[in-house]
């Protein structure tokens, strides 16, 4: 039951832009998103993020709501970029040099259902890798404002 509430909370927060911590632009401009020094460790540091992203990509490719957006992509590069981006915003020692969210997603016709499915699959990957629920919710709150740059339909 708690897991379902967490997914619902995350999906609602993303759809309505519920997080107020900061915007995705700050992450891309080099501003650390969280000052929680321990959260990076709760994700298993960079090695943990790599495992999470490996599972996340498998989940995305299995889910018919997200598969079309990832099956023909450079999956290795996408995972590497996500690891760096998450590492950076979780106050890890990484630098995110990837593309800005809005231009890279502009022509993909991503709707709310697709985006919420992605959030669900991220939570499944984090659960599988034993990321504490509190840490998951912190990350989802940080990522929530990105929906404005990713959902285009």
pLDDT band at 25 (very low <50, low <70, confident <90, very high): very low
pLDDT band at 9 (very low <50, low <70, confident <90, very high): very low
Whether residue 19 has pLDDT greater than 70 = no
Neighbours of 102 (CB within 10 A): 15
Whether residue 72 has pLDDT greater than 60 = yes
pLDDT average, residue stretch 80-86? 93
pTM, two decimal places: 0.77
Whether residue 126 has pLDDT greater than 50 = yes
| Residue 108, pLDDT score | 66
CA torsion sign for 12, 38, 48, 2 is negative
Under DSSP, the state recorded for 146 is G
For domain 2-7+37-150, is the CATH number 1.10.490.10? yes
pLDDT average, residue stretch 133-152? 84
What is each CA distance from 123 to 24, 26, 53, 105, 111, in whole angstroms? Answer: 19, 23, 11, 21, 19
Domains of the chain by residue range: 2-7+37-150
pLDDT band at 97 (very low <50, low <70, confident <90, very high): confident
């Amino acid at each position: 039951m708690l897991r379902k509430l967490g997914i619902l909370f995350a999906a609602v927060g993303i759809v309505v832009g519920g997080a107020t911590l900061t915007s995705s632009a700050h992450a891309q401009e080099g501003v650390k998103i969280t000052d929680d020094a321990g959260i990076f460790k709760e994700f298993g540091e960079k090695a943990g993020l790599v495992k999470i992203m490996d599972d996340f990509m498998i989940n995305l490719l299995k889910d018919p709501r997200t598969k079309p957006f990832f099956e023909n992509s450079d999956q290795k590069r996408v995972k590497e970029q996500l690891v760096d981006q998450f590492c950076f915003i979780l106050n890890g020692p990484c630098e995110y040099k990837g593309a800005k969210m809005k231009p890279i997603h502009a022509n993909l016709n991503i709707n709310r259902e697709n985006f919420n499915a992605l959030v669900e699959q991220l939570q499944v990957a984090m659960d599988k890798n034993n990321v504490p629920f509190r840490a998951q919710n912190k990350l989802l709150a940080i990522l929530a404002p990105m929906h404005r740059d990713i959902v285009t339909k």
